[in-house]
Structure 1
Amino acid sequence: MKKCLGLVLFLSLLSAATMAQKIGFVDSEYILNKHPDYKVKQQEMKSLGDAWKKEAQNLEKEIQEMYNELKAEEVLLTEEMYDERMKSIREKEAAATAFNTRVFGINGQYFQKQDELMKPLQSEIFDAIDKVAKRNGIAIMFDKAADLSMIYTDPVHDYSDFVIEELGIEENK
């Protein structure tokens, strides 16, 4: 009987300790926007993306011009000449599609470059979050900017500014 009572007491203390764990949250979007490197990396991605978009638009423009030339000269062309021109247009279309897939497709160059630029920054922020959580005895840390739905958040549990401080970022007020 004493063993059973001891077990019940132990389990209730364990349960109370578990319920007393501190929970906090950060807003990674807010933290990223405060980080000076983030704006630089965003600008680099924008410039690169704009250059690739322009290249894709130029390919589409060339294809449209090829179609327009074909249409204008269609009556003067033999069937073989027409077929040869259509073949060239299809090859150009295939090249444009391949370019778009290679650059903007899943695991394309654009997303690989974005990952390459952002991974070190994300790692730095994660390390800072880890330090803040450990220093403040937080058992569970949520990210307000993630897909997790947070209907209400009490600002007293927001550790974003502690993470910014841990990263050594000066507040520009």
Structure 2
Amino acid sequence: MRRLLLISLGILFFASHTFAQKFGYVDTEFITSKMPDYAKVQQQIEQNTKTWLAEVEKKKLSVEKLEKEYKLEELLLTEDLKQQRLAEIQAKSKEAKAFENQVFGEEGELFKLKQAAYKSILDQISKAIEKVVRAKRLDFIFDKANDGLVLLYTNPVHDYSDYVLEELGLELDPNLVEKAKKEEAQEPKSPKKN
């Protein structure tokens, strides 16, 4: 009986190691802090940001100057001139806000600059992560630099989306299924542990 219990425990222990998934994490903040290219990109972005901030400030000061001048001369102006000056102030104010939004808005110049500048760095990090994943035979890699853990890599073997779609009675796109099969065939198979 004791021998059977030991054999059963041994089999369970062996099976748990055979089917265990390997997780890992990286700290992209730490990694980028060690990359000289990242420091150069940061300097370029800071320089452009300072230039744009100065332009925005210059436009705002221009509007403030027009407003002060208007207040000083308001009593001396005819109704037509008042309307003309107010329209000019409003136009300059809109122009300043439009420029600020164009540069610092959601899809503005700063966003585009950051996206383009960081792309090569992120590509380098991504390629390095893939090499490490393959060398260390990891299934998942997380990034601890963000507020919550962000998943950077997952082994496609662990993607059960197709099964969920099937369970929901939804059809898979045949083109996507074929593409997934091709990608799976290209990935190097990891040797099975015995």
TM-score bracket relative to the smaller structure: 0.7 to 0.9
The 1-side partners of 2:66 and 2:128 are apart by 55
Mapping of residues 50-129 of structure 1, within 5 Å: 50-129=50-129
TM-score, length-scaled by structure 1: 0.75
Which AA in structure 2 matches 1:119? K
Q: What amino acid does structure 1 have at the position aligned with 2:107?
A: N
State the structure with bigger RCO (CA 8 A, min sep 6), 1 or 2.
Answer: 1
**SS of corresponding position for 1:145:** coil
How many percent identity over aligned positions? Answer: 34
Q: How does 1:142-153 map to 2 (within 5 A)?
A: 142-149=142-149
Q: How far does residue 16 in structure 1 lie from its aligned partner after superposition?
A: 5.4
Count matched residues: 140
Equivalence for 2:45: 45
Shift of 1:23: 1.2
Give a deviation string over 1:112-170, Cα, whole Å, max 9, x none.
011000011101101101101110111111111124259xxxxxxxxxxxxxxxxxxxx
Q: Which has the larger radius of gyration?
A: 2
Structure 1 unaligned residues grouped into runs of 5+: 1-11, 151-173
Matches of 2:44 and 2:54, distance apart in 1:
15
Confirm or deny that 1:17 pairs with 2:18: yes
Give the Cα separation in 2 of the matches to 1:15 and 1:101.
Answer: 55
CA-atom RMSD in angstroms: 2.1
The 2-side partners of 1:129 and 1:49 are apart by 31
Structure 1 residue 14 displacement after superposition: 7.0
Normalised by the length of structure 2, the TM-score is: 0.67
Q: Look up the equivalent residue of 2:98 and give its one-letter code.
A: A
Deviations 1:18-74 (A, max 9, x none): 3x2221110000000100000100000000000000000000000000000001111
SS in 1 for 2:107: coil
- Alignment partners' CA distance in 2, 1:125 and 1:21: 23
Measure, in 2, the Cα distance between the counterparts of 1:146 and 1:17: 32
Residues 142, 149 of structure 2: 8 Å contact kept: no
Distance (Å, rounded) in 2 between the aligned partners of 1:148 and 1:82: 55
- Structure 2, unpaired ranges of 5+: 1-12, 151-194
CA distance in 1, matches of 2:15, 2:50: 57
SS at match of 2:52: helix
Partner of 1:130: 130
